[in-house]
Amino acid sequence: MSELAHLGPVELLTPTGEASLRFFVDVMGLEIEAREGRSAYLRGWGDYQRWSLKLTESDTSGMAYLGLRASSPEAFERRVAAVEAAGLGIGRTDGDLGRGPSYRFRDPDGHLFELYYEVERYNPPEDLRPALRNVPQKYTGRGCAIKRLDHVNLLAADVRANREFCVDALGYRLYERIELDDGSETGAWMSASIAAHELIYTSDAYGATGRLHHVAFWVDTREECLRAADIWLDNDVHIEAAPSKHAIAQGFFLYGYEPGGNRVEVTTGGRLVYAPDEPTVVWTEADRAKGQAWGVQTVATFHTYGTPPVEERG
């Protein structure tokens, strides 16, 4: 049923390397697991792998690649075959830090993915040893105290084409989508697990390709989202959308921009989908006009802003 275990890690590009690193470490509370060249490998206290975010200094922002872990070596080979059959494959790599060989491919919109199976489990140093056996790392409680990477929202010129690829070739389940009155699909929420969303596609307002909408990091409670907003406020982080609840997927959110310009979310909640035959929820234009779950109108930039900025792409 689930050929993919989960999404991640993700590599983000930033033109402001040090400021972005300070944001993720001091404000978001991630740990630096390793540094290599212009990249830092970061982890939340609940990530079982060594890292879930690779932050790389670059001349622009955006997502370098999105990792997907297959649920078994056999599932890995089956997905590689399916992607190759779809004509979107690139080829095998030697892996990355703490991770075995991967298979590279692009989604129809051009975002780079890396599928893999073999990983190294995190082994905390003495000062990050947790008290309990079923926790990978000490809970330091620094800043927003992010637990782990949760989901990624990509922008696409053609949402439908991309979600069809993800469902057909990767085995994602489609839980919710937006269909406008003219029949166009402007959003698709997919998951490989019972979690409401792992991979999301929404329409690129500029028709650009390969862009990122946001990367979402998990905390266990809504109170931690509210607390994160206080921390962002006092640390001059641009808050794009204050904490509230999405109608779609019912996730609780806080959105802002890290110093390099990438939109990040602190998230929790979201419905769990236990029914194996759960029908896809289709949201209409009229539904969307009502705003978020409690009627908050979505801020305009949320529908247009992505990274890298479109101006830089021309």
Residues 141-160 that bind a copy of itself (CB under 8 A): 141-145
Q: Which C-beta is closer to a copy of itself: that of 37 or that of 300?
A: 300
Q: Which C-beta is closer to a copy of itself: that of 133 or that of 311?
A: 133
140 binds a copy of itself (CB under 8 A): yes
Q: Which C-beta is closer to a copy of itself: that of 91 or that of 291?
A: 291
Please report, as residue ranges, which positions from 16 to 45 form the binding site for a copy of itself (by CB under 8 A): 29
300 binds a copy of itself (CB under 8 A): no
6 binds a copy of itself (CB under 8 A): yes
Residue 144, both tokens? 């927003």
Q: Which C-beta is closer to a copy of itself: that of 69 or that of 213?
A: 69
Separation between Cα atoms, residue 14 and residue 61, nearest integer Å: 4
Please report, as residue ranges, which positions from 176 to 195 form the binding site for a copy of itself (by CB under 8 A): 176, 193-195
How large is the C-alpha radius of gyration of the chain?
18
123 binds a copy of itself (CB under 8 A): no
Separation between Cα atoms, residue 178 and residue 256, nearest integer Å: 23
Binder of a copy of itself out of 59, 94, 133, 300 (CB under 8 A):
133
Burial class (CB in 10 A: 0-12, 13-18, 19+), 134: exposed
Dihedral in degrees, nearest 10, Cα atoms 192, 51, 151, 39:
-130
Please report, as residue ranges, which positions from 229 to 258 form the binding site for a copy of itself (by CB under 8 A): 229-236, 239, 242-245, 247-250
Question: Are the CB atoms for 208 and 156 separated by under 8 Å?
Answer: no
What share of residues in the chain are helix, strand, coil (percent, to 5)?
20, 40, 40
Separation between Cα atoms, residue 295 and residue 290, nearest integer Å: 6
Amino acid in the structure at residue 102: S
Q: Which C-beta is closer to a copy of itself: that of 47 or that of 204?
A: 47
How far from 225 is each of 22, 83, 154, 237, CA to CA, in Å?
A: 19, 37, 22, 14
Least CB distance to a copy of itself at residue 91 (A): 24
88 binds a copy of itself (CB under 8 A): no
Separation between Cα atoms, residue 100 and residue 50, nearest integer Å: 12
Counting residues that bind a copy of itself (by CB under 8 A) gives 71
Least CB distance to a copy of itself at residue 98 (A): 13
Q: Which C-beta is closer to a copy of itself: that of 38 or that of 238?
A: 238
